[in-house]
Amino acid sequence: MDKLKFAIPKGSLQKATSDFFAKSGYKLGTMERTYRPTFNDPQIEIKVLRPQEIPVFVSEGLQDIGITGEDWVKENRADVEILQNLEYGKIRLVIAVPKDVAQKDMNEYMEYIWNQGKNFRISTEYLNIASEYLKAQPNYKKRFGDQDPLLVTPWWKKGDNSKAKIFLSFGATEAKPPENSDCIMDVTETGTTLDANNLKIIDTVLYSTATLIANKKALEDPEKREKIYDIVALLKGVVDGQKRIHIFVNVKKENLQTLLTELPALKNPTISPLADDTWVSVNTVIEKDSLIELLPTIRKIAQGLVVYEPRQVLALDEIARRKESNATSNS
């Protein structure tokens, strides 16, 4: 098998991706001066790319697998297989307007601009998402039906409705209103930068996190598919490990069935004998959030509870089912 081509994101997701990989057992070399860092799996070739580009390169088969934001998968309308939500790099895509705007939502605000005989202008990196968003507003539908807003870039214009213009932003998007746009569609974590630029959020368009994606043809190759699902297993293991805890508890044999009956969250535990043959040890993995609910029962009928946070929990049975399902669908 040729090396599996794995694209990882540059920029805001870069450090978080490196930290996430470290928890999985993968080791990335320094990325300060190279776009091709070393990697501790010789069957994988890592390349660092902008997250905006990764869905396109993966869908075109230039990369076999990649990590990018859900927002960019949607924006690029990329035909890729979404393998795993990695649950880091959380952002939200919002609509922000100048603080002195009196209208409460985007629908009213657009109508206000149009009633003044002006064109509505929005500045964003997300041309396709913005177009879909505007077309979904009731007042847009009422005025323009299915017409597409006019998308404006330095190289081309696309769309038939000049009354709603979406301008491609190359950064510093929050600086555009009010002179160059009536509002912006941009990502935010805390809203602090928007506030500092005299903007306020009036709507959230979507939430996004880092996502593992694959080229569909790569998944049809038996050797590549095996390697891809090795990666899925390790990375999903980190995601699951952050949500679960490993518990060890000692219980008298006479209370074992009560413990298992009253605590259905203790799924398929491992039960081991102790030196005192009237006692056994029970250990299993549970959801973190369930510990508080389970604790009163455990405290009454058991002793010696130990709680351990695993770095990874590898759901190998689930990965096997997903791999078989994918193989079947491609046969």
pLDDT tens digits for range 165-184: 999 999 899 999 999 999 99
Q: Is residue 74 assigned to a domain? A: yes
Same domain, yes or no, for 38 and 128?
A: no
Q: Is residue 25 assigned to a domain? A: yes
Residue with tokens 């920029």: 11
Domains identified in the chain, total number: 3
Same domain, yes or no, for 97 and 196?
A: yes
pLDDT at 32: 76
Same domain, yes or no, for 138 and 190?
A: yes
Same domain, yes or no, for 201 and 131?
A: yes
Q: Is residue 322 assigned to a domain? A: no
Q: Is residue 314 assigned to a domain? A: no
Q: Is residue 288 assigned to a domain? A: yes
pLDDT tens digits for range 193-242: 999 999 999 999 999 999 999 999 999 999 999 999 999 999 999 998 88
Same domain, yes or no, for 218 and 83?
A: yes
Show the domain range for 43: 4-88+209-241
Same domain, yes or no, for 143 and 213?
A: no
Specify the range with the lowest mean pLDDT, choosing from 55-64, 170-179, 303-312: 303-312
pLDDT at 324: 67
Query: Within 10 Å of residue 179's Cβ, how many Cβ atoms?
Result: 7
pLDDT at 119: 97
Beta bridge partners, 284, equal: 247
Same domain, yes or no, for 109 and 168?
A: yes
Q: Is residue 227 assigned to a domain? A: yes
Same domain, yes or no, for 61 and 126?
A: no
pLDDT at 316: 65
List CB contacts of 119: < 8 A, sequence separation 6 or more: 113, 162, 163, 164, 165
Share of the chain above pLDDT 70, in %: 93
pLDDT at 320: 66
Q: Could you tell me the pTM of the whole model?
A: 0.86
List CB contacts of 239: < 8 A, sequence separation 6 or more: 84, 85, 86, 87
Same domain, yes or no, for 101 and 202?
A: yes
Same domain, yes or no, for 102 and 200?
A: yes
Which of residues 315 and 284 earns the better pLDDT score? 284
Q: How far apart are CA 150 and CA 158, in angstroms?
A: 6
pLDDT tens digits for range 14-49: 999 999 999 998 988 887 778 999 899 999 999 999
Q: Is residue 331 assigned to a domain? A: no
pLDDT at 93: 96
**pLDDT band for position 78 (50/70/90)?**
very high
Share of the chain above pLDDT 90, in %: 66
**What single-letter DSSP state applies at residue 39?**
B
Instruction: Inform me whether the pLDDT recorded for 330 exceeds 80.
Output: no
- Looking up residue 108, the CATH number of its domain turns out to be 3.40.190.10
Same domain, yes or no, for 201 and 184?
A: yes
| 85 touches 71 (CB < 8 A) | no
Task: Output the average pLDDT for the chain.
Answer: 90
- Looking up residue 275, the CATH number of its domain turns out to be 3.30.70.120
Q: Is residue 316 assigned to a domain? A: no
Same domain, yes or no, for 43 and 183?
A: no
